[in-house]
């Protein structure tokens, strides 16, 4: 009886994402957006990787809508 090959381990979504749900972040680039540098966003959800970069759903406290951005556009707000 032949044994079936073990499938390669796929990293979990949490290992792919540098930031976690609830964490405060800033956007590095706000081209086309009317945001100030001190705008703080909170990570609401992690999303699948797109074009090699993990994505996140974020929202700032003063907004009533959510945004989607890639990890390379975020930095830790440290606070």
Could you tell me if residue 8 is inside a domain? no
pLDDT in tens, 8-63: 544 444 468 999 999 999 988 766 666 555 789 999 999 999 888 999 999 998 88
Q: How many CB atoms lie within 10 A of CB 27?
A: 19
Domain of 40, CATH number, reads 2.30.30
DSSP 8-class letter at 73 = G
**Tally of domains in the chain:** 1
Could you tell me if residue 9 is inside a domain? no
pLDDT in tens, 38-47: 789 999 999 9
Residue 43 token pair: 């990570």
């Amino acid at each position: 009886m032949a044994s079936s090959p073990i499938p390669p381990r796929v990293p979990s979504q949490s290992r792919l994402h540098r930031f976690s749900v609830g964490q405060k972040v800033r956007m590095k680039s706000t081209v086309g957006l009317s945001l100030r540098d001190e705008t703080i966003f909170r990570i609401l959800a992690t999303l699948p990787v797109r074009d090699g970069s993990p994505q996140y759903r974020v929202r700032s406290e003063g907004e009533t809508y959510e945004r989607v951005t890639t990890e390379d556009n975020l930095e830790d707000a440290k606070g």
